[in-house]
Amino acid sequence: MPIDDEHDGHELPAFGPRMRLERDEHGRVRAVPDEGAPYLPTRPMSDTGTSDTGTSDTTAPAGTGRGWVAWRVTDPEPGDAPAWESLNHTEQRYWGAKTPDERAQLGALWPRLAAWVAQEFPGCHLLRTPGATGIVLLSHALPWPKTKKGEPPQRPYQYPLLEDGLARLFAAHDTPHRMEVCAEPGRLVRRITAYDARIAWGAYMRSVPIIRGDLVHDAGPYVPYRNGKYRALVTVPQGWAHIGLAPRKAPHGSGWEYPRTPGEEWECWLDEVDMRLLTHEDARMRNGLPAWPVRVLERVLFAPSDTPGGDPLREWAERLGGAVERFDAAPHTPANRALRRALRAMIAHPVGLWHKQSNARSVSAESLDEMDWDATADLRERQRVDEDDGRVSIRGRVDLSEWQKHWRRPEWSTAIFARERVQVARRALTLPAHAVLGILGDAVYLANDCQPNWPDNGKIGCYRAKDTATFDHDTPVPAAPLSLSRLAKGA
């Protein structure tokens, strides 16, 4: 039976096989090809492009039909790179150019960046936003089976989408960054140092979850080192005296928290790397602390890691990441920093697009009496906002565009989020608990003279001391994570 009636019957273009997801009598989900169409992979399957804000972007890839799978694109992208001057300030800010000087700097370097993209990703060019650009570059860098000379070409590796229900479930039960002040209230320090990873997301893109054949969805046990998601009952063990390790939604929808009181118990969704940290890693990785009791209630297992084509992001991430590393090793001139920010955005922004489930939209008017209520009809979760200039806005959420739906890959984004979360926890656990003041994304904030011996060879993912603030007197640690970040920067 079809998983989603809305998608059943949508025709795909003639350049590839139609795919559908079916659930068998055992409840397992499978990606099943509909045979009959000639297999000539060229353009990605999409109806319209979209910018990072969810608005229409006519320079993004275009095609026909609603796509179930992604595969490597072999023909050149149509059109050319847009002129820097044609980008609005929001789009320029996405590229890391936030101030007038930064906009002028990157504008002067735009042809150089365009030339690099054309050289490293033949047939590609810059688009208006780094998110759309990064995804187009990925579509040209997905793996393809190797063939021996004289053999007929093989079918490219295919990456079907998750069914809608699982996609929304995984996206709703994970968060891009851990944001937490770990210090006890009233803690006083004389120094704060932030150790931050080099573009952490870029380091965690190897062997992301993929669907190939059966998608196991049952109540079976934990399988170490196989990509999967687990709904589990977690308990903080007796004797635990360090940071929390498993996320829980905070009360009243106010973000996420990481309980650490012994005996506390809750249910949550965990990634395979979360499960490994809690239950299977050597106690030395937990600073001698015990493993956490975890009872699996439900699991979703993806293809095994040795599945052919099981590393879809490798080539793309290594090309972009390698360029960032070269800029890190070069003199830190304004030009090099501008280009590094642009490359970083092409790595990071696609992750947000994979995770995205809807778009924000607002409709404004001088007053409620003048509001175009027809324009608000498709808005969900509507709320009224009184703007500073006296205008009134109705804000809400709308569905993703067809192009965004094709690249909705929360199994990729949540795996990357979890790997960042686990890596920063591993770092913190090697230190005394009292030294860890807070965790913000991939950064750990340390107290006073704590200086861990974490080697930095300049590679993406390596930790290095980034911000340090020294105070003349005992200074209280802020209760808010962003305030802790500002304090470490000396602000």
What's the pLDDT tens digit per position in 352-367? 999 998 878 777 777 7
Q: Do residue 145 and residue 222 come from a single domain?
A: no
In a domain, 441, yes or no: no
In a domain, 122, yes or no: yes
Burial of 165 (0-12, 13-18, 19+ CB in 10 A): exposed
Q: Do residue 294 and residue 315 come from a single domain?
A: no
Q: Do residue 346 and residue 363 come from a single domain?
A: no
pLDDT for 398 equals 80
- When divided into structural domains, the chain yields a total of 3
Cα separation, 189 vs 179, in Å, equals 20
Q: Do residue 260 and residue 275 come from a single domain?
A: yes
CB neighbour list of residue 93: distance below 8 Å, 6 or more residues apart: none
Domain stop point among 259, 274, 302: 302
DSSP string covering 163-177: PHHHHHHHHHT--S-
In a domain, 165, yes or no: no
pLDDT for 404 equals 87
Reference 90, options 139, 47, 57; nearest CA is 57
pLDDT for 286 equals 64
Q: Do residue 26 and residue 139 come from a single domain?
A: yes
Q: Do residue 222 and residue 284 come from a single domain?
A: yes
pLDDT for 491 equals 65
What's the pLDDT tens digit per position in 51-110? 343 333 333 333 323 335 777 887 888 889 999 999 999 999 999 999 999 999 999 999
pLDDT for 103 equals 95
Q: Do residue 24 and residue 117 come from a single domain?
A: yes
pLDDT for 17 equals 34
In a domain, 11, yes or no: no
In a domain, 209, yes or no: no
Q: Do residue 242 and residue 257 come from a single domain?
A: yes
**What residue type is 442 in one-letter code?**
D
pLDDT for 39 equals 29
Q: What angle do CA 297, 301, 303 make, to 5 degrees?
A: 175
Region of 54 (left: φ > 0; alpha: ψ -120 to 50; beta: rest) is left
Q: Do residue 339 and residue 377 come from a single domain?
A: no
In the chain, which stretches have pLDDT less than 70? 1-68, 153, 253, 282-287, 373-375, 377-378, 491
Domain of residue 275 covers 214-302
Residue with tokens 């949550």: 268
Question: What is residue 275's three-state secondary structure?
Answer: helix
pLDDT for 28 equals 45
DSSP string covering 303-343: --TTSTT--TTHHHHHHHHHHHHHHHHS---HHHHHHHHHH
Q: What angle do CA 390, 393, 399 make, to 5 degrees?
A: 165
What's the pLDDT tens digit per position in 173-217? 998 899 999 998 889 999 999 999 988 899 999 999 999 887 899
Q: Do residue 321 and residue 393 come from a single domain?
A: no
Sign of CA dihedral 71, 74, 78, 81: positive
